[in-house]
Structure 1
Amino acid sequence: MPGKKKIYFVSDVHLGAPALKNNREREMIFVRWLDEIKEDVSELYLLGDIFDFWYEYSKVVPRGFTRVLGRIADLTDRGIPVHFFTGNHDVWVFDYLPEETGVILHRNEFIAQINGKKFYLAHGDGLDATDRGYYILKKIFTNKTLQWLFSRIHPNFALLLAHKWSKSSRLAKMGLEEEFKVKNDEMYKFAERFLQKESTDYFIFGHRHQLVNVKMDSNTRFILLGDWINNYSYGVFDGETFELKKYKELA
Structure 2
Amino acid sequence: MNIKLHQKKIFFASDFHLGAPDDASSKIREDKIIKWLDSIQNEAAAIFLVGDIFDFWFEYDKVIPKGFIRFLGKIAQLRERDIPIFFFNGNHDLWMDDYFTKELGIPVFDHPIEVLVENKKFLIGHGDGLGPGDRQYKVLKKIFTNPVCQWFFKWLHPDLGIRLAQKWSKSSRITSLQNNENDFKGEDEWIWAYCKQVEKNQHFDFYIFGHRHLPLDLPVGNSSRYLNLGEWVNQFTYGVFDGEEFEIKKFEN
TM-score (normalizing by structure 2): 0.92
Relative distance call for 1:73 and 1:182 in structure 2 (3 A) is: farther
- 2:49 is aligned to 46
CA shift digits 1:152-189 (9 cap, x unpaired) = 10111111101110111135643761641343211111
**Contact 1:69/1:101 (<8 A) preserved:** no
**Contact 2:132/2:193 (<8 A) preserved:** no
Give the letter aligned to residue 42 of structure 2. Answer: E
- 1:220 is aligned to 224
Relative distance call for 1:199 and 1:173 in structure 2 (3 A) is: closer
Residue 238 (structure 2) pairs with residue 234 (structure 1): yes
Residue 150 (structure 2) pairs with residue 147 (structure 1): yes
Residue 30 (structure 2) pairs with residue 27 (structure 1): yes
Distance in 1 (alpha carbons) for counterparts of 2:24 and 2:9: 33
TM-score (normalizing by structure 1): 0.93
**Contact 1:18/1:163 (<8 A) preserved:** no
Distance in 1 (alpha carbons) for counterparts of 2:66 and 2:152: 21
Distance in 1 (alpha carbons) for counterparts of 2:219 and 2:171: 34
Distance in 2 (alpha carbons) for counterparts of 1:61 and 1:170: 22
- Paired residue for 2:191, among 179, 184, 187? 187
Relative distance call for 1:20 and 1:60 in structure 2 (3 A) is: closer
| SS, match of residue 213 in structure 1 | strand
* Number of residue-to-residue matches in the alignment: 247
For structure 1, which segment, 91-100 or 204-213, has the greater mean C-alpha deviation from structure 2 after superposition? 91-100
- Paired residue for 2:108, among 105, 108, 115? 105
List runs of 5+ in structure 2 lacking aligned partners: 1-5
Distance in 2 (alpha carbons) for counterparts of 1:170 and 1:51: 13
**Contact 2:196/2:221 (<8 A) preserved:** no
List runs of 5+ in structure 1 lacking aligned partners: none
- Paired residue for 2:125, among 105, 122, 127? 122
Percentage identity across aligned positions?
45
**Contact 1:166/1:172 (<8 A) preserved:** no
The structural deviation recorded for 1:214 is 2.2
Give the letter aligned to residue 221 of structure 1. Answer: R
Relative distance call for 1:106 and 1:171 in structure 2 (3 A) is: farther
